[in-house]
Amino acid sequence: MELFQMYEQLGLRRAVWERGEAVLADLAQRFRGIDQTAEYNQAKVLAAMQKNRIGANHFAATTGYGYDDDGRERLERVYADVFHTEAALVRPQITCGTHALSVALSANLLPGDELLSPVGAPYDTLQEVIGIRPSPCSLAEYGVRYRQADLKPDGSFDYDAIRAAIGPKTRLITIQRSKGYATRPSFSVGQIGELIAFCKSVKPGVTVMVDNCYGEFVETIEPSDVGADMVVGSLIKNPGGGLAPIGGYICGTRSCVDRCAYRLSAPGLGQEVGANLGILPAFYQGFFLSPTVVAGALKGAIFAANLYEGLGFRCIPGAAAPRSDIIQAVELGSEAAMCAFCEGIQAAAPVDSFATPVPGDMPGYDSQVIMAAGAFVQGSSIELSADGPIRPPYAVYFQGGLTWHHAKLGILLSLQKMVDKGLCSFS
């Protein structure tokens, strides 16, 4: 059977398939660049695993306190070597990215300290952690004040505002690499390095944390290579490689990571406790696969931007823009188009392909939200997924794909559903 017939069997028709192939014909050079980054990062991960002499004995499960867990300790050294940091905390007891960020912040801020975000408002879920939106146990409740310097209208850093916001009490500066669900640009590691250098020139010794969610392995360097004291992320995004079923990481200086470990477990216990419960094979293997998985997700994002921009939809980042994370926003202009797009993503999934996503109410959102995901790991957004709030400009945020070919099918089917419903046409 020829390739198109395989796709036809999955619900695609020839016009959309051919449109996709035409778009892809122009992307060969871009994709080569992505593969080169993945190759570099694969070597980086392999070197760290070999240096730390990972053996099959390090995959053994521990229970109870988890004292002397050599597999856990070596995994943390592998992460520290890849991120070029003194120390790392990589644990299934860190339940998600928000938890990792919350641990990193609350461990390294004390009552009376000030936290500064020089890149505008942080990710939604962090607003309650910080207390921007009041919540029990927020940093604000513990007497940590928050300041923010907004980006300039063109999305660049407002250095004057940042200098003015750094004061005697500024203890920690938090920088979010990915735009998340905002419309600002994501930042390259180079840009983050410039911002860190500026902040440290204004206040030497200030601690800088980078929310690295969705950014890992997109470039050959990480924020910890350009001066960040802590980089923090989720294992059900990039570095889990799709295999980690839970977890988060914090890589950074020994003193910052020690404090995080005391916050996560208890003062006095720190990194010494925390049974791995048999999860280490998925953590090791997922990290090993992550550079390739991220490359597939990036190809999907770039393909989507090129396909949809060519059809007249606004894409953020744009079709030709360089990438700093794996998220692609597409402004579809109507609720019906958002639903059709998400139906296509869902229909392409290996799991729950028969389900139809519909808009629904979500805690923390003032409009309804639609979500498409057919994932092996619940809520995993390194797997192919799309979601967005039902409000103008009716943008879907699309990310992930454990393999490039699955991402490609999902994007093509999203367009097929739009065409089937008369929401998009081309000749």
Ligand X SMILES: *Cc1c(COP(=O)(O)O)cnc(C)c1O
Please give the residue ranges that form the binding site for ligand X (CB under 6 A).
Answer: 96-98, 123, 125, 176, 178, 180, 211, 213-214, 234
User: Strand, helix or coil at 109?
Assistant: coil
Q: Would you give the DSSP letter of residue 192?
A: H
Task: Please state the φ and ψ torsions of residue 145, each to the nearest 5 degrees.
Answer: -90, 155
Minimum Å gap between C-beta 427 and ligand X is: 38
Smallest gap, in angstroms, from Cβ of residue 265 to ligand X? 20
User: At its nearest, how many Å lie between ligand X and the CB of residue 106?
Assistant: 15
Angle of the 335-347 helix axis to the 404-420 helix axis, nearest 10: 140
Encoded tokens for 239: 């570095």
Q: Which is nearer to ligand X, 180 or 242 (CB)?
A: 180
Select 126 or 256, whichever has its Cβ closest to ligand X: 126
Nearest distance from residue 311's CB to ligand X, in Å?
A: 27
Looking at beta carbons, which residue is closest to ligand X?
A: 97
Structure tokens at 375: 């994932």
Contact 121, 127 (CB under 8 A): yes
| Least distance CB 130 / ligand X (angstroms) | 12
Q: Which is nearer to ligand X, 176 or 207 (CB)?
A: 176
Instruction: State the Cα–Cα distance between residues 306 and 21, nearest whole angstrom.
Output: 11
Q: Please tell me the distance from the alpha carbon of residue 146 to that of residue 170, in angstroms, as a whole number.
A: 9
DSSP at 65: T
- Tell the residue number behind the tokens 């619900």, with chain if given: 11
Nearer to ligand X, 96 or 375 (CB): 96
344: left (phi over 0), alpha (psi -120 to 50) or beta: alpha
Which of residues 34 and 213 has its CB atom nearest to ligand X in the complex?
213
- When the beta carbons of 99 and 417 are compared against ligand X, the nearer one is 99
Q: Closest distance between ligand X and the C-beta of residue 295, in Å?
A: 19
Q: Provide the β-strand partners of residue 371.
A: 387
